[in-house]
Structure 1
């Protein structure tokens, strides 16, 4: 996002038109995650993830040298498609590498590193664009190549040899978890753009000030993800998700009504805590919902997350222009009214004893 003006100038289009490159990445990324985890479980996690890394390397390098916009956009589509096969399967590998009762802590570490990447990416992309935006694509190609060279760690519990079916990942239990995870992300962290609009319109903050304040969410997520992971192990993922939903609703409503910039900054930092409570919790629930198709269940949940993030600007921006405060109150109300009743209590249709993840990591929570 931070390099759109430079990218647009290079291809002879406006920065607004250049934003189609973001859509070209996110649409296949979110759509393919409905099936990528299950397909990766069928093909083998290691093979699928390494292939995805290599495809990402090729697509990034072609994008570096692309001088024709359609070719560049095609490579963005390929990048999104490749990346759809990484996160869900990596989460499944994490789940298979930890002892029972320690899944939350492992997911906390994963969430902390993921938050660090999401927080630093705009900054690094902007710095690269100061010289040449294509350097950012060189950087991600090198990073993907290094990840492919490192490979995946061995798992304590190897993936099942059965060929999981797509319907095992599309069960109502998983879909309900995905809906809550999508709401938790889309109605909090996905509203970064909305917070930026309010900071400019209500408080007159410039680009640098807005960017600095918005990093509060990511920084708080980095600092608290591991603590939240431990909480998932101790009190159960469902309680953590519900806590994150309620906290997120209070944060979003507060940001929309806050009379002072410092209060917005403080609340937005708590938004990072709320986001991690939801993400770590729903990932633990999804991974615990199936022994035969952990990657598939997790990829469905991740698909909801990014689909809701993509829908946010389209749905909320018109409301903001009509009535700014209402644009914040609507997502807050959605979190409170839809989140708690949608989140399932226990998996009644799993694939055998031991599915689900409770405080011990071995049984579903019924709290």
Structure 2
């Protein structure tokens, strides 16, 4: 496995581990003698520590050494996955899931920092788009793989995760840039969090993910209420978000390289507002499927635009992207509390509120988002053409 491929496969591992339990909740409940609803807490047990620890993990990883931190995080992830497979009680399983989330907090932002450090500025959008596609593939395939494993033994999925993490721990990584002296001068994690561009990017990421990528539960409710789809059929429709995002991620990265982060981000927010708002009123199932798939493409436009801004010089390195990514997942976690009551009152209102939040974010980006500086080599190349 080459160093570049190892970076991208590592990007897939995190969202895959987070979503692998989604399709095995009844089997988890049967193993531990609990309800599927209580078993669903295993997703929160992963995501909450993941998001909270990311507020500091990027900066800590840079101080300890990026490659060293990533490798030890893979080792910790592998051990936690094995603990999950062997856990004798549900609460032991929950603890293993929390440890997985903590370990993942030390891979996701540092892998993004590695991609940025090893990519020329004029190609950064495409590289981050590729990473985004791998994360979308992990998010989309996790329920499928977890469900297939659960047909025989759900523990097999966790054994597989442990094996992949162990292989990644032994795989090559690009060399760390900088020196120890440079690392000692890096700002603290709280310093990164309070930089204006990081606050802006984190806030936009929170609202955008709460109002788009955090809505699968709401789309699932709509599919059941309006079209009476079975759970399997609802799951199949929901995969359209990740599949479309994965297919479009590299193209959206190229758009960032050519048009700039700000323009791509505004485009993604506007289109996402249109398609998210439409899901609550569309009368035909194929139209809902198409709208949700387009939302996946918009998610990649937003994600690559934000990551490219933060990692391309305006925001900083691993510490900054760690903080922004934490706000991204906190936004996803906040979505059910924010929109479920409105949806129960009226479906159009339930989807209209997140659409409105996306629209309100656009003028904030238009006024305050840093205008990305295109690299001199890229400018020279365009002038020659």
- Whether TM exceeds 0.5 here: the answer is yes
Q: CA deviation at 1:269?
A: 1.2
In structure 2, what is the Cα distance between the partners aligned to 1:289 and 1:219?
30
Report if aligned partners of 2:280, 2:351 keep a CA contact under 8 Å in 1.
yes
The 5 Å alignment of 1:81-120 reads 81-120=102-141
In structure 2, what is the Cα distance between the partners aligned to 1:210 and 1:70?
29
Tell me what 1:13 maps to: 34
The 5 Å alignment of 1:263-342 reads 263-289=287-313, 293-342=316-365
Among 340, 349, 358, the residue aligned to 2:373: 358
Alignment pair present for 1:36 and 2:57: yes
Q: Deviations over 1:146-174 (max 9, x none)?
A: 1111142236x547433422244111211
Residues 37 and 290 from structure 1, CA distance in 2 versus in 1: closer, same or farther, beyond 3 angstroms?
farther
In structure 1, what is the Cα distance between the partners aligned to 2:92 and 2:347?
39
SS in 2 for 1:152: coil
Alignment pair present for 1:76 and 2:100: no
TM-score (norm 1): 0.92
Alignment pair present for 1:186 and 2:207: no
The 5 Å alignment of 1:216-295 reads 216-289=240-313, 293-295=316-318
SS in 1 for 2:183: coil
Report if aligned partners of 1:177, 1:344 keep a CA contact under 8 Å in 2.
no
The Cα RMSD (Å) is: 1.9
Report if aligned partners of 2:272, 2:299 keep a CA contact under 8 Å in 1.
yes
Larger helix proportion of the pair: 2
Q: CA deviation at 1:361?
A: 8.3
Q: Structure 2: state its 5+ residue gaps.
A: 1-21, 379-385
In structure 1, what is the Cα distance between the partners aligned to 2:33 and 2:190?
45
Report if aligned partners of 1:108, 1:227 keep a CA contact under 8 Å in 2.
yes
Among 207, 212, 222, the residue aligned to 1:198: 222
Among 235, 239, 248, the residue aligned to 1:215: 239
In structure 1, what is the Cα distance between the partners aligned to 2:53 and 2:287?
39
Report if aligned partners of 1:176, 1:344 keep a CA contact under 8 Å in 2.
no
Alignment pair present for 1:174 and 2:198: yes
Structure 1 runs, 4 residues or longer, greater than 6 Å off: none
SS in 2 for 1:257: coil
Report if aligned partners of 2:240, 2:296 keep a CA contact under 8 Å in 1.
yes
Tell me what 1:350 maps to: none
TM-score (norm 2): 0.88
Report if aligned partners of 1:104, 1:280 keep a CA contact under 8 Å in 2.
yes
SS in 2 for 1:169: helix
Q: Deviations over 1:86-134 (max 9, x none)?
A: 1100011000111121100100111111111111011001101111111
Q: Structure 1: state its 5+ residue gaps.
A: 348-355
Report if aligned partners of 2:121, 2:312 keep a CA contact under 8 Å in 1.
no
Residues 362 and 310 from structure 1, CA distance in 2 versus in 1: closer, same or farther, beyond 3 angstroms?
farther
Report if aligned partners of 1:92, 1:295 keep a CA contact under 8 Å in 2.
yes
Q: How many residues align?
A: 353
Name whichever of 266-275 and 161-170 sits farther off.
Answer: 161-170
Residues 361 and 287 from structure 1, CA distance in 2 versus in 1: closer, same or farther, beyond 3 angstroms?
farther
